[in-house]
Chains A and B, each alone.
Chain A
């Protein structure tokens, strides 16, 4: 049960480093001396140790140099960033779009290695397994939005065009009288996809996609702000119907189930975390 509570999304192996005043002079006495401490968001079905083993496997087969890193799990991006600024960890592993947002907001960070060619993360919706009707209609709408270029337009507006000064405004989610309501959990902990604007409204790429989906499905969308650690509990107890989910890039090495809880169905991806021309 505990495992479910601490879930969140995952990584792409776009490693980043912070320069902030890290104390390089400190003597490290542990066994892991010399290993670079790499912050990551907690994975559901993997421990820090077993994930370290995956990373060694990855290095053997994929020519990605990450075995010298020691993974340290965090429950939220927020905590991970605080650790990076304080010098407790040396690098963090995050999605390309999040990394770009971080750099736009704080130029002290820079991209250390970009592995988005080897591992492409994609984002989708997760729902309860028995909610097949909703899953089918979401899949149809996602395909439509992909083919008519809506998703590309939103990606440009909400992700590619991020700048240091201003965030794109929160979208108005239309209300349709008498329509069914889909409750969606937002965490505010994954800018620029999911954050809360200064006036307290959920904002970001995800909300823009949802507004569009609501229009096309003719359903109301209700955004429920919840701590990321409680998303699984919220979904399974029917307090919300949909949560955002990132699909771990599948390869021979990283086990497919390293981040997928039971009883949850995933839709088609609505966003791929790769470089856009």
Chain B
């Protein structure tokens, strides 16, 4: 059997490529939803974490340290097979909840780190010049925050996509599961897994590309 024939058998034959695309779509869906919800929740957490109200601050602190300090697969298994087991919730919903929770903790920390890197004096100066609290945040803090947080945020997004590769444990067929299934069926694990890696890599570069584009637009 020559190499192209093996490739054809693994990736194309009998609609195999469609199955791979379906798996990819599941991965993209979970990643995109979790990113959106995780970013919202993470911003809120960061707001609590740097705020002045102590109980919320402590809660945010505990949440962040627990979630950041434990593997996301454990959290996923715990939620799906434990907490939500009786609710009959769709596995993909549980996955989105899990990854949103996980991403939120990371986003909260990256935002806090970026806030700490800012010069406090600028906000004070703006306030002295008569800006309201909100105006000072919107016009002075936010633009600088976005600039500092961007590179770390970008790698959080790429990490998130890779973390989702464990959803096979909660009965979801994502890209990784599809690749593993194909490897088992065709008995060609090396080539199949290399193919899967290339797809993940392409996805990551799409994310890098998107960030690069928005950066260029901002620069103009």
Interface residues in chain A, defined as those with a beta carbon under 8 Å from any beta carbon in chain B: 5, 76-79, 81-82, 85-86, 101-102, 105-106, 167, 185, 188-191, 195-200, 224-227, 229-230, 233-234, 236-239
Contacts and interface: CB of A to CB of B under 8 A. Distances in A.
B14 A233 contact: no
Interface in B1-25: 13-16, 18-19, 22-23
Contacts of A233: 77, 81
B168 A239 contact: no
Nearest to B167: A227
Counting chain B residues whose Cβ lies within 8 A of the other chain, the interface size class is 20 to 34
B187 interface: yes
A196 B170 contact: no
Nearest to B91: A239
B181 to A, nearest CB: 4
Contacts, number: 102
Given A189-B180, A230-B169, A239-B85, A199 B19 contact: yes
B80 A82 contact: no
Interface of B: 13-16, 18-19, 22-23, 77, 80-82, 85-86, 168-171, 173, 177-178, 180-190, 193
Q: Is the interface of A mostly helix, strand, loop or mixed?
A: mixed
5 A-B pairs with least C-beta separation: A198-B14, A196-B181, A200-B19, A82-B189, A237-B81
A237 B85 contact: yes
Contact of B180 (A78, A101, A102): A78
Given A106-B187, A196-B181, A227-B177, 7 more contacts: A78-B189, A196-B182, A225-B168, A225-B173, A230-B77, A237-B80, A239-B80
Nearest to A165: B9
A9 to B, nearest CB: 13
A191 B182 CA distance: 11
